[in-house]
Amino acid sequence: MIDDRGTLRARLDKLAALVDLARLSRSEEDRARVERSIHLVSWAFQAVARARRLDGDKTRQCEAAEIEATCRRIVAEARAAGLRISDNDRW
């Protein structure tokens, strides 16, 4: 999956960029697509975090906590921007 910390950070940054893209979009159809993308990608990151948390390795557990916190922040920003992101927040 995502092994390199730099790759992980880059992908989280791309997720955050989707929120900015949605803010600029005037099309409801585009906003709906971005909402769905943010929802699915944050769900995937949640699965990565869960796997790393169960790994037992301290480094992986720290990465899991960082993933979870960053995804929560991104989802909160998306909601603040008026996006309807459903609750799959079983962190």
Assess if residue 39 is contained within a domain. Answer: yes
Higher pLDDT, 22 or 91: 22
Cα–Cα distance, 34 to 65 (Å, whole number): 25
| Cα end-to-end span (Å), the chain | 19
Q: Which domain holds residue 58?
A: 5-80
Instruction: Report the pLDDT value the prediction gives residue 3, as an integer from 0 to 100.
Output: 60
For residue 91, is pLDDT > 80? no
Tokens 């079983």 belong to which residue?
A: 90
Over residues 30-80, the pLDDT tens digits come to 888 888 888 888 888 888 888 888 877 888 888 888 888 888 888 888 888
Tokens 């799959």 belong to which residue?
A: 88
Residue 79, both tokens: 């909601």
Assess if residue 90 is contained within a domain. Answer: no
Binning the chain into helix, strand and coil, the percentages to the nearest 5 are 80, 0, 20
Whether the CB-CB separation of 63 and 48 falls below 8 Å is answered with no
Domains held by the chain: number: 1
